[in-house]
Amino acid sequence: MLKDHSLRSGIWVGAAMDSSQPQDQQQDLKSHFTALTSENAFKWSSMETFQGQIDFTQTDQMVQFAQDNNFRIRAHTLFWHRMQNPSWVRDQIESAADHKTKLLELMDARISQVVGRYKGRVDIWDVVNEPLRIDGKGWDIKDGLLGSANFFYLAAGEQYIDYAFAKTRATDPRAKLFLNEYLSRPALNDFKSQSLLALLTRLKKRKVPIDGVGLQLHGFGSVKSPFFSNSSKELSDYMKAIAKLGLHVEITELDISLPAVIKDFAAPGASDQQHLKLQANLYGNAAKACAQTSACSGITVWGLRDKDSWLNSFVPGGPHRPLLLDDNGSPKPAYTALAAGLLQRCHGITLNAKLCSEPWPNPQNAGVPYPARTCNECVKPALKNNILKINSLAWKWQRPIQRYSYQWMQSTMSSNSSYVAIHYATNSALFKPSHRQHLRWVKVCVRAYNDYGWSAQVCSSPRGPFRS
């Protein structure tokens, strides 16, 4: 159901995973999700313990897995000062005569080698992760309890961010580039959220090639916040403020600790089922906030099954049971609530200019004709009184619809050439990519049939993992 709702709403739904994920959990991903994020594989220390000896085993596996199964893949992350850097990176920067020159040289090498290798196969790069201090008060200028000093910032100031984005864009021009930040209270009146908005405003002013912002939303400790409250408004207002800067926004690392939910919201003596229901409400609100913000293009949960959550090893007071699937991979109430929240995206949308919402994921993920025939939430409003209102030019006579058909336009990308659209008739077999091609874009056209004949065909603009 979750996957189906992801496809109907056009909101990517992903989970973080490692390449060592066992078979049954790979199956979880295939059954329920449309996107994935590498939990650790792309981090600097996972790839390059010793300088120049890059181990691509895990990242190769992951990118191939995504490609074979038509997942959107987000590579997390190129530059994160706080954790998971090999020690030689900081040592070399700090012992160089010119810290900034050395930093840019090392960044340059990492981007050329890693981004260069996966160019065209990774959909989103988390170029910079968590640049701000945890409390949002500026930058990490000293090592502290919460991790390492931001030695990138100390060497080059904000230019480290500018440089990382510019170089990544130049290396992989079609991928979307995100800055990912830890926010436990994303809201217009929250201090760290304001610091992030201010940073994004500066980046846009300097014309840094950034496409989107990831809001992590790890829920533990206290989950009484605008984001976890009974309303989704504060979160969607904050997302809209990001959208105003011309950026996509996504929830990138969602999890909600059950003990924290119990502490903040549960009545004494409530049952486990009631606790899970409370957790589900919070998940539902997060999904609604995204669905209500057209710039919100995805939601990713930070892990597949409860037992594998990072919270269980990092945060005392577990087991946290913070995810959508229980220890055995069965969907929890949170799963159903998240799926239902996504469909808010479809409310009130007519087939006027665009069909449903964007982006449209690859129909191969659906395993059914796409858009699904049961895409009620998207199609229904346009079928008011049994009349399909496509647009005045497209539809000559407003008469009851007898049937309508979809046509997909798939695209392939060969190794270095541009995209080519391939037209398909309704329900025909999906295109199978040949050697060195992989499917990427989808454009959907619809036309309706009444007793006077066919309407003209109306098409959505090409969509896919954001590329245009």
Among 1, 49, 83, 204, which residue interacts with ligand G3I (rule: CB under 6 A)?
A: 83
Give me the residue whose beta carbon is nearest to ligand G3I. 310
The reply on whether position 148 binds ligand G3I by CB under 6 A is no
Query: Shortest CA distance to 85 belongs to which of 133, 143, 17?
Result: 143
Beta strands in 196-242 (DSSP E): 212-215, 218-219
**DSSP one-letter string for 44-90:** HHHH-SSTT----HHHHHHHHHHHHTT-EEEEEEEE-SSS---HHHH
Q: Which of residues 266-325 bind ligand G3I (CB under 6 A)?
A: 310
Pair 420, 412: CB distance under 8 Å: yes
- Catalytic annotation, pick one of 181, 253, 358, 377: 253
Distance CA 255, CA 216 (A): 9
Beta strands in 68-186 (DSSP E): 72-79, 124-129, 176-181
Among 26, 69, 70, 84, which residue interacts with ligand G3I (rule: CB under 6 A)?
A: 84
Smallest distance, ligand G3I to C-beta of residue 58, A: 10
State which residue, 40 or 455, has the beta carbon closest to ligand G3I. 40
Query: Shortest CA distance to 291 belongs to which of 335, 234, 246, 338?
Result: 338
State which residue, 49 or 391, has the beta carbon closest to ligand G3I. 49
Smallest distance, ligand G3I to C-beta of residue 225, A: 17
The reply on whether position 37 binds ligand G3I by CB under 6 A is no
State which residue, 40 or 450, has the beta carbon closest to ligand G3I. 40
The reply on whether position 40 binds ligand G3I by CB under 6 A is yes
One-letter amino acid identity for 132?
L
Smallest distance, ligand G3I to C-beta of residue 311, A: 8
The reply on whether position 162 binds ligand G3I by CB under 6 A is no
Report how many residues bind ligand G3I under the rule CB under 6 A.
9
Site string for ligand G3I, 386-415 (x = CB under 6 A): ------------------------------
Cross-strand pairs, 128:
79, 179
Pair 450, 397: CB distance under 8 Å: yes
Smallest distance, ligand G3I to C-beta of residue 187, A: 19
130 flagged as catalytic:
yes
Q: For 394, what's the count of Cα atoms within 13 Å in the CB-facing half-sphere?
A: 17
One-letter amino acid identity for 30?
K
105 flagged as catalytic:
no
Smallest distance, ligand G3I to C-beta of residue 129, A: 6
Distance of CA 429 to the CA centre of its chain: 28
DSSP conformational letter for 221: S
- Catalytic annotation, pick one of 130, 250, 358, 377: 130
The reply on whether position 216 binds ligand G3I by CB under 6 A is yes
Distance CA 330, CA 311 (A): 19
DSSP conformational letter for 331: B
The site for ligand G3I (CB under 6 A) is made up of: 39-40, 83-84, 129, 182, 216, 253, 310
- Tell me which residues are annotated as active site: 130, 253
